[in-house]
Structure 1
C-alpha cells in the first residue's frame, strides 16, 4: 500500500471519528432536550392557596419555556399521596414535579411509615416563606411575646391557642414556640385556620396561628393583635411585626413552599428548572399572587432548599416525639 493510500485511509478514519464524536454530542444534547412536553405541577392538597401559587408560577414559566404548565391536585394523607405519586410514579425527566409545603418531607416521615423516602425526591427550588403569624385576642393579659411568656410562666396551661388541626403545621408551630419559650400552653384544634381565627376574634381562645392573610387583616381592623411572625427575619410584607428571635425566644420556623423532582432527574434538567423558576418568581402573575395573599415569595436553589428541609426535619423529630405524634 502506497503512502498516498495510507494517508487517505488515515484522513478518512480521522473524519469518521470526528463525525462519530459529533453524533454523540448531538445525541447527548438531544437526551437533555427539555422540556419536550407540558410540565405538570402536582399539588398534594385540595384546591386552595397552594395550587393558586403553583398556577401563578405556571403562568410565568409558560412564557419562558414556550410549553404549557399544568396543575394537578392529588390531595390526601397530609400531602403524602401527591408526594408519593411524584416520587414513585412520575418519570424522572423534569416534566412532573411536586409543588408543596415542606410537611410531606420534614414532618410526615416522622409520623407514619410512608411508601416513599425523603431521598426519593430531590429539591429543585424553594419559592415561598409564608409568613406565619401568631395573633392574640383583643383584651388578653398580654400584647407582645415578652408579656405572653411572663403570663404563661405564671399561669401554666391557662393560655389557649387554636390551630388548623392536631399534627398540622400551625399546631406544631405553636408547640415549637412553647418548647422554645419553656412555657405550657393548651392546644385547641379546629377544622381549619379560619375558625381558629374567628374564635380568637370572638374571645373564646387566646391565640391563633396561621398565614399572614388570615391574621394580619384582623389585626389591622383592631380585632386581633399580631404578636410575632415565625421567620428568621421580618418578611418584607410585614415590616412592623417582630420575629420571635427579636422578642427573646430562640425560634425561627418559616413555612417553606417549594418544588421537588423525582430523585433520578438529571442534574442538567434540575439546574435548568431552577433557573426558570427563579426568573418566574419575579414575573407579574407571581407578584400579583403574593400581594393578594400576603405571601413572601423568596427563591432559593436546590442546595439551599435541601439544607433547609434537613434542618426543619431535625427540628420536627424531637418535637413530634415529645407530643406523642411520632411513629
Structure 2
C-alpha cells in the first residue's frame, strides 16, 4: 500500500484532521458568542413583603429589560427580616448572574452578625448600589426640643428620658437610634414596635419622643406638621429632603445611609457582574425610574461593583462594632 502524500513533511491525513479541528473550534467560538450573558430571564429576589422595595426594582427592571434584551422577573421571598430571600440567593442560586438579590444591605452587614444563618458576608458580593434611603428622624411636636442641638442638650441633662420608637429590637431603626446615642454621647430609651408605622403613629400621638425610618414614612408626617424633622442619616443632604440637616451638620460624626441595590452569589464572574452593573447604571438614570424614585422619596445614588463592595466592607465592620457594644452580636 502506498503512503499518504505529504506536504512539507505533514501527512495529508494530519492536514485534514487539523482542518476539521479548526472548523470545530470555529463552531464552538460562534456558539460561545451566542451564549454570552444573559442567556435566560433574570430573576430578582426581593426579600420583603410586597411594598416599596419591589415596586422600585420592578420599574428599574423594565428599563434593564430594554438594555439586556431578556425579561427581568421580580419575586418576593419575605421572612426573617430579609434573611429568607438572602439565603435563597446566597445558597441556592447558580452564580451565573441570572438570579440576583435586591435588598437593603443590612441583610448582609447586620443579620449574619445577630443570628446563626445559613449565609454570611462572604457568600454574597456587591453588584450595584441604586439608592440610599434616605433615613431620617422625626420628633413629637410637643417634645421639649425642636432640633438636633436642643435634643442632644436635653438628653444629656435628662438621661434615658428621651424615648424613640423602632420597628423592633435588633432591626435597622433600633440600631440607628443606638448609633445616634453612641455618637452623641447620650442615653435614649428604646421602645420597640411591630413595624415602622406603629412607631410613627406612637410618636405622632406623643407616646414616644422620636421615630426613625425611611423618609417615605416620616416626611409626610413632617409636611402635615404632625412631626418635627430632626435629622437625616446620609453623608450629605438628600435631594428629596434638602431642608433636613444631617447629623454632621450639627457636629455629630454619624453617617448611616441605608443602601439599596443588587447583590449576587459570591462566585458570580466579574464580567457578568460588570454587565449587570452597567445595565443598572443606565436604567437608574432613565427618566421613568428617576421620577418614580422621587415620588417614593428614594435618593438615586448609583455606585458600581468596586465602590459598592468597599462600602459593604466598611458597613459590615461598623455594624459588628456597634452590635458588640450593644451586646447583641452572636
Query: Shorter-chain TM-score category?
Result: over 0.9
Shift of 1:318: 2.1
Give the whole-Å Cα distance in 1 for the aligned partners of 2:314 and 2:106: 13
Residue pair 2:5, 2:11 contacting (<8 A) in 1 also: no
Asked if residue 55 in structure 1 is aligned to residue 58 in structure 2, the reply is yes
1:143 aligns with 2:153: no
Q: Distance in 2 between matches of 1:175 and 1:119?
A: 26
Matched, 1:26 2:30: yes
Instruction: Give matches, 1:1-327, under 5 Å.
Output: 6=9, 19=23, 22-23=26-27, 25-31=29-35, 33-327=36-330
Which SS does the other structure have where 1:64 is aligned? Answer: helix
Taking the aligned partners of 2:19 and 2:11, their CA distance within structure 1 comes to 11
Q: Secondary structure at the match of 2:136?
A: strand
SS of aligned partner of 1:172: helix
CA RMSD of aligned residues (A): 2.1
Report Cα offsets for 1:168-215 as digits up to 9, x if no partner.
111100000000001000011111111211111112211100111111
Q: TM-score, normalised by structure 2?
A: 0.92
State the SS of the aligned residue for 1:313.
helix
Q: Which runs of 5+ in 2 are unaligned?
A: none
Secondary structure of the corresponding residue to residue 254 of structure 2: coil
Q: CA deviation at 1:88?
A: 1.1
For residue 12 of structure 1, report the CA deviation from its aligned partner: 6.8
272-281 or 88-97: bigger deviation: 88-97
User: Is there any run of 5+ residues in structure 1 with no aligned partner, and where?
Assistant: none
- Using a 3 Å threshold, how does the CA distance of structure 1 residues 279 and 6 change in structure 2: closer, same or farther? same
Cα separation, 2, equivalents of 1:4 and 1:212: 78
8 A contact 1:146–1:248 mirrored in 2: no
Normalising by structure 1, what TM-score? 0.93
- Between the two proteins, the alignment pairs up a number of residues equal to 326
CA distance in 2, matches of 1:23, 1:151: 75
